[in-house]
Amino acid sequence: MAAASTDLRMDHLPSDPLLYILSFLDFRDLIHCSYVSRRLNELSKHNPLWRRHCFKHWLLTDADRLQSSMSWYCLFKQYYKDLGSYIQYYAVLKKAWDQLKSFLQQRCPRMIASLKEGATEVELNDIETQICCKLPDDYRCSYRIHNGQKLVIPGLMGSMSLSNHYRSEVLLDVETAAGGFQQRKGMKRCLPLTFCFHTGLSQYMALQPAEGRRMFESFYPCPDQTAQDPSAIDMFITGSCFLEWFTTYVHNVVTGEYPIIRDQIFRYVHDKSCVATTGDITVSVSTSFLPELSSVHPPHFFFTYRIRIEMSSSASPEDACQLDSRYWKITTSDGNVEEVQGPGVVGEFPVMSPGRVHEYASCTTFSTPSEYMEGHYTFHRLAYKEDVFQVAIPRFHMVCPPFREPVVRTQKAPTTYSVRFDDHDDDTECYDGDGDDFGDLRGINMAALEGAWCPRHI
């Protein structure tokens, strides 16, 4: 008698264990399985298998499927046909856009209204033909979701206001960005990502690794004022690629890292450890670097800081007090130390009572790219003026973003630049230096700053 056959054929296996195995495969392997046999071809199209992939890659929900009246398999195919070349970026960028819009809907509705519908593949291809450069896939993917925003204020990419200086950066639509595509020496093959009406400043993305730049990194250009060649450009680097640049910004917005003030996003960064409590009074500090008022050559790094003073709501009414003076100890990265003291803060002497919050902004410049400040305020009790006490200001660091010097620099004779603390003598919110303080920074539209709207107290 012939021996019984021990061959195990795919067609004889039950469906449930096969479907269970297929449920662990990614969409590519699932498609490959469909070519193995008729049986696997049928099973690989099993609708529940594709539900997970639609959730993961396209962020689709059960409600989306019901509205489409399509199977999960067909829905995945439809999206893949349109956006398949961006599948490694789409979910991350779509989630970031959804989080940003949800967060801003109640806080900054004007920004939501300014967003443009996504660009089409044809439009993005036409832009590449126009500028003779390929756009990175993560940039294209984001612009398929939203084609930047209308040229309005406030800008989606953050604001800053200080005295007569105001900045608000718009996320450029791809057509406007292409119009600002750079081919001039020192900025070859750079595409603007943002634009500020008041400063004329843009963040750029390098589309090719030309003139010492790395492909797809984002940066603020900064003319080297000590070079004889006007095309010598330093870079304040803001991101290694569009995906990192955009998602990092969104994370800072939706987590509250960047505060919303008067319907605008302000790019102040707060270190959570930068908080000090003395008795019933808590002081916290956030900082921001202003590239448009800074330069690498000569070294001139401009920072603004925002201080929040809060008295606990559980404090006794008898503990009400008034700020009399402040003391600063400022240390630069080269070891120089300066001590500054004076009356009030930004010309004010705030009264603190239970639950009261006082916030103010000030600024400073340094000749080193990093430094820190710390100090204290002196208060007196309203009920008993002789009761004087100090409140600690936590140490806070101010560090400019990484910067890169141009590949070729033709320098003038070297000059020594000392550390300057122009605004600390009176700690005023208004920076009242003369034009020599930052009027010599080339590329800044200083005329646009004249009369620019800026809230006096932010």
CATH of 268-408+417-427, one of 2.60.40.1470, 2.102.10.10, 2.40.70.10, 2.60.40.10: 2.60.40.1470
pLDDT, position 17: 86
Q: Residue range 187-209: average pLDDT?
A: 95
Q: In one letter, which amino acid is 406?
A: P
DSSP codes of every residue in 214-280: PTT-EEEEEE-TTBSSTT-EEEEEEESSHHHHHHHHHHHHHTTSSPEETTEEB--EEEEEEEEEETT
Distance CA 25, CA 22 (A): 5
Tell me: the pLDDT tens digits for 311-335? 999 999 999 999 999 999 999 888 8
β-bridge mates for residue 391, sequence order = 377
| pLDDT at position 179 | 96
Q: 97 versus 408: which is more confidently predicted?
A: 97
pTM attached to this predicted model: 0.82
How sure is the predictor about 408, in pLDDT bands with cuts at 50, 70 and 90?
A: low
Better-predicted residue by pLDDT, 249 or 163: 249
Q: Examine domains 15-85 and 268-408+417-427 and report if their fold is the same.
A: no
Taking the C-alpha atoms of residue 363 and residue 2, their distance in angstroms, rounded to an integer, is 94
Residue scoring higher pLDDT (411 or 210): 210
For domain 108-246, the CATH class is alpha beta
Are residues 442 and 300 in contact, defined by beta-carbon separation less than 8 angstroms?
no
Q: Is the pLDDT of residue 4 over 70?
A: no
pLDDT tier, 11 (very low <50, low <70, confident <90, very high otherwise): low
Length of the chain: 458
Q: How far apart are alpha carbons 199 and 185 in whole angstroms?
A: 22
Fold (topology level) of 15-85: Monooxygenase (1.20.1280)
Cα 239 to the center of its chain, rounded Å: 9
Rounded to the nearest integer, the mean pLDDT of the chain is 86
Token digits of residue 100: 């940003």
Going by pLDDT thresholds of 50, 70 and 90, the confidence category of residue 165 is confident
Return the higher-pLDDT residue of 135 and 426: 135
What are the DSSP E strand ranges found in 57-133? 115-117
pLDDT band at residue 432 under the 50/70/90 scheme: very low
Residue 449, pLDDT > 50, answer no
What pLDDT shows up at residue 425?
38
Domain boundaries, given as residue ranges, for the chain: 15-85, 108-246, 268-408+417-427
